Amino acid sequence: MGVTVDYEAEIRALKRSMNAVILAHYYQESEVQDVADFVGDSLALAQAAEKTDADVIVFCGVHFMAETAKILNPTRQVLLPDLKAGCSLSDRCPPAAFKAFKEKHPGAFVVSYVNSSAAVKAMSDVICTSSNAVRIVNQIPKDRPILFAPDQHLGRHVMKQTGRDMVLWPGSCIVHEIFSEKKLVGLKVEHPDAEVVAHPECEQQVLRHADFIGSTKAILDYVVKSPKSKFIVVTEAGILHQMKKSAPHKTYIPAPPDNGCACNECPYMRLNTLEKLYRCMRDRTPELVLPADLQGAALAPLKRMLEWSA
């Protein structure tokens, strides 16, 4: 019989010996969230990455998040448990196509969602997350036309909130675009006492049924503070773990996608496991490496985002 490894204990020991910090997104598996030093959404994780004094950053999320950490920490080692943990939204905005798109709109101020590649970030004026997108766009000079990429649904939500017209890249997230309006309405009928909380990456026909629309962190804060006790949650189901930890007396119902699954999970986020986290720390691989010139070009718009979000 094989030897059973206590992955949590081994990870904590490695963390001390490596002077490492483990950052995890809300959409990670619950056991990965529980062993992390910091759990958050894209903005909070970028802020944590910028402030860390650790020698090694272990990023439990997807590829673009680890890239962001590396751009903000060019001299530190950044590890990612599974390099195949990509992002459908980022993949749907190839750098060459985005360059051509940008060239069709000379003089436009380019806002790129953090769910984009380092190459797309490098062609941008400022980066945003779903937490700060409205705040970021409100700070752009009124006389500048705006390009917004890659999520069209978040872009439309921001346009509605700010009153700014923007040219939108036609991208979307496979997790958030597949929520079923019909099934959501059915859940509302079944649970008339529940509030619907939704992420702005969802399609407009889904968002119109929401009582609250916000980033993953904003949704978490909302359900914890709300006097209501039941919520239909229209975003990736990984956030339910933190909701149950923060307000265990409340009821959370994951909105189902338009297929046979009971809840909606990101297949890329779920590639990271506790065992892969242990192995990547033990072996110090896979490591996220970026060309120095690309890191430098992408740093300025990321720094602008953090300054405008302060």
**DSSP assignment of 68-99:** HHHHH-TTSEEE-S-TT---HHHHTS-HHHHH
Question: Is there a binding annotation on residue 272?
Answer: no
- Nearest Cα neighbor of 125 from 309, 303, 291 is 303
Q: What strand order describes the sheet that includes 20-25?
A: 38-40, 20-25, 56-60, 77-79
**What does the alpha-carbon distance between residue 43 and residue 47 come to, in Å, rounded to a whole number?**
6
Residue 42 annotated as binding site: yes
- Judge whether 115 is annotated as a binding position: yes
* Residue 266: closest CA among 275, 274, 257: 257
DSSP 102: H
200 among annotated binding-site residues: yes
The first and second tokens of residue 244, run together, are 């149950």
| 117 annotated ligand-binding residue | no
179 closest CA partner among 141, 232, 105: 232
In degrees and rounded to multiples of 5, residue 186 shows phi and psi of -60, -40
CA distance 143 to 145: 7
Which of 177, 239, 249 lies closest to 206 in space, CA to CA?
177
Extract the tokens encoding 80.
């990612």
5 is in an annotated binding site: no
State the Cα–Cα distance between residues 188 and 170, nearest whole angstrom.
Answer: 30
The reply to whether 173 sits in an annotated binding site is yes
**30 carries a ligand binding annotation:** no
Please indicate if the annotation marks 199 as binding a ligand. Answer: yes
Strands (E), 244-295: 251-254
Tell whether residue 267 is among the known ligand binding residues. Answer: no
Helices (H), 19-131: 30-35, 42-51, 63-72, 88-91, 95-103, 118-122
Using CA atoms, how far residue 256 sits from 80, 261, 262, in Å, is 29, 7, 5
| Binding-site residues | 25, 42, 87, 113-115, 130, 173, 199-201, 216, 266
| Binding-site residues for iminosuccinate | 25, 42, 113-115, 130, 199-201, 216
| Binding-site residues for [4Fe-4S] cluster | 87, 173, 266
